[in-house]
């Protein structure tokens, strides 16, 4: 009888060990298909596997299935690395401080202040996908509006996040992070948060407006603002400063545009005394301003055809300065809003 009891207990233990082994095997073999526009980092982020360790494990597990330059191929089912134990599992706070869209070197960031805590932003770079926007020329090189606007939007997003804000990057590229090159290569990879960008202009604009409005309904923030970043195209001789459009009949939108303008004017006064600033603020009945719910501002960063204005976008320090000044404008506007609503 005692021997039978021991055999029974041993059988139960073996069954439990087998079940545990099977569970671990299932976890280790978890697989999924990538979505359109996803690179390795975004794919892993969707499955709560963030950081360089997971990335290295993923590449090792799937090296035979990856495309050129370690890209994900549509229709291929990739094996996910198992979730790490408690010692290496990322906390919620750590996850919020990692954004793959910024690129490998800058994906991790620290929240350095709470100046924008409680604020929510929707950032949109102009054009993207099948539409490069305006195209300027410097010698034999082409400057594509969407690439430079996207780089500045990423820099702005990182700045805002480091100040404690909630940020939605509406137009995304799974491969291009923040880049320091002067001449940014053009691609058609951009998506509207994973969705293919339509070729038709009206549908393209409608898609990003609907995306913003859907997020706006879900976000529980009192202060929510959208920004559309573009680079204008005019006669080569027309040198322009940064100018701002606001929504008609929206006082908060108009105030934001005016705050942005005064911020840039003060920055130019400090960094280029005597130069002056001729940027303007104007209400416009543009589709994206007319059809987005949050108070929004539409920014034109210069004339992509003008040799002087081109320096404003091709130099990475200047792109960072533009992002810094836009961020400062948002900080000033948010402080004004909080003071007004006390």
Per-residue pLDDT tens over the stretch 113-135: 999 999 999 999 999 999 999 99
The token pair at 277 is 């600033």
Taking Cα atoms as reference points, which of 172, 228, 218 lies closest to residue 195? 172
14: left (phi over 0), alpha (psi -120 to 50) or beta: alpha
pLDDT in tens, 32-66: 988 877 888 888 888 888 877 888 889 989 998 89
| CA separation for the pair 314, 143 (Å, rounded) | 8
Contacts 24+ apart (CB under 8 A), 189-192: 189/37, 189/129, 190/37, 190/128, 190/129, 190/146, 190/150, 191/36, 191/37, 191/128, 191/129, 192/128, 192/129
Burial bucket for residue 280 (CB in 10 Å: 0-12, 13-18, 19+)? middle
Give the CA dihedral 38, 40, 43, 45, nearest 10 degrees: -120
Res 16: pLDDT: 53
Pair type for strands 295-303 and 223-232: parallel
Taking Cα atoms as reference points, which of 190, 164, 158, 206 lies closest to residue 324? 158
- DSSP calls for 15-45: HHHHHHHHHHHHHHT-EEPPPTT--HHHHHH
Res 39: pLDDT: 83
pLDDT in tens, 248-287: 999 999 999 999 999 999 999 998 898 889 999 999 999 9
Res 38: pLDDT: 82
Res 51: pLDDT: 77
Res 30: pLDDT: 87
- Note whether 148 and 95 are within 8 A (CB): no
Question: Please, which residues have CB within 8 angstroms of residue 326's CB and are 6 or more apart in sequence?
Answer: 152, 156, 227, 260, 299
Domains of the chain, earliest start first: 2-94 (no CATH), 103-340 (3.40.630.40)
Give the CA dihedral 56, 59, 62, 64, nearest 10 degrees: -140
Res 325: pLDDT: 98
Res 96: pLDDT: 53
At residue 124, the 3 state secondary structure works out as strand
| CA separation for the pair 222, 231 (Å, rounded) | 30
Which residues of the chain, if any, have pLDDT below 50? Answer: 2, 4-5, 20-28, 86-95
| CA separation for the pair 43, 168 (Å, rounded) | 17
Q: 128: which DSSP letter? A: B
């Amino acid at each position: 009888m005692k021997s039978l009891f021991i055999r029974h207990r041993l059988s139960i233990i073996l069954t439990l060990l087998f079940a545990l082994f099977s569970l671990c095997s299932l976890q280790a073999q978890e697989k999924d298909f990538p979505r359109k526009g996803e690179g390795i980092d975004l794919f892993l982020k969707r499955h709560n596997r963030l950081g360089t360790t997971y990335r290295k494990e993923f590449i090792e597990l799937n090296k035979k299935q990856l495309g050129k330059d370690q890209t994900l191929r549509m229709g291929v089912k990739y094996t996910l690395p198992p979730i790490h134990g408690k010692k290496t599992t990322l906390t919620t706070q750590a996850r919020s401080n990692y954004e793959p869209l910024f690129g490998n070197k800058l994906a991790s960031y620290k929240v350095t202040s709470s100046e924008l805590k409680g604020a929510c932003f929707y950032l949109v770079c102009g054009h993207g996908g099948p539409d490069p926007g305006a195209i300027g020329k410097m010698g034999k090189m082409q400057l594509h509006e969407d690439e430079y606007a996207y780089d500045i939007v990423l820099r702005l997003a990182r700045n805002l996040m480091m100040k404690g804000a909630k940020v939605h990057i509406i137009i995304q590229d799974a491969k291009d992070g923040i880049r320091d090159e002067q001449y940014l290569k053009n691609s058609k990879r951009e998506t509207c948060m994973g969705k293919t960008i339509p070729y038709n202009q009206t549908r393209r604009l409608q898609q990003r407006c609907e995306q913003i409005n859907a997020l706006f309904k879900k976000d529980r923030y009192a202060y929510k603002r959208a920004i559309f970043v573009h680079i204008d195209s005019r006669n080569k001789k027309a040198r322009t400063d940064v100018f701002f459009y606001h929504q008609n009949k929206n006082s908060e939108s108009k105030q934001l545009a005016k705050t942005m303008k005064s911020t840039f004017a003060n920055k130019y006064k400090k960094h280029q005394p005597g130069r002056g600033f001729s940027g303007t603020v104007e209400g416009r009945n543009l589709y994206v301003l007319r059809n987005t719910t949050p108070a929004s501002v539409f920014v034109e960063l210069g004339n992509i055809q003008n040799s002087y204005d081109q320096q404003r976008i091709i130099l990475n320090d200047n792109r960072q300065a533009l992002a810094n000044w836009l961020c400062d404008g948002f900080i000033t506007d948010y402080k004004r809003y909080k003071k007004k609503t006390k």
